[in-house]
Amino acid sequence: MQKSLISQVQLGRQYAKEWPMRKELAPLFPEFRVIKATELALQTMPILALFTVFFQTSQLGMDYLPQSIAIALFFLTLPVQGLLWLGKRCDTSLNPALSSWYRDLYQKMVAQGYEGSICTRKPTYRELAKLLTDMFEKMDKAFTKENL
Residue 108: per-residue pLDDT: 87
Regarding whether 111 and 53 lie in a shared domain, the answer is no
CB atoms within 10 A of CB 78: 17
Mean pLDDT by 10 residues, the chain (148 residues): 83 94 90 95 96 94 93 95 95 91 88 77 91 84 68
Q: What is the pTM of this model?
A: 0.85
Q: Which of 62, 91, 120 is the last residue of a domain?
A: 91
87 lies in the same domain as 141: no
Identity (one letter) of the amino acid at 64?
A: Y
> What pLDDT is recorded for position 110?
85
Regarding whether 135 and 100 lie in a shared domain, the answer is yes
The CA-based angle 146-18-82, given to 5 degrees, is: 110
5 and 65 belong to one structural domain: yes
pLDDT score for 4: 86
pLDDT given at position 2:
67
Q: How far is CA 102 from the centre of its chain?
A: 19
Q: Is 138 in the same domain as 114?
A: yes
The per-residue pLDDT for 145 is 65
Note whether 99 and 77 are same-domain residues: no
Domain identity same for 103 and 76:
no
Q: How many domains does the chain have?
A: 2
Identify the pLDDT of residue 116.
75
56 and 112 assigned to the same domain:
no
Q: Which domain holds residue 7?
A: 1-91
Residues 25, 75 share a domain:
yes
Provide the pLDDT for residue 125. 94
pLDDT value, residue 122: 87
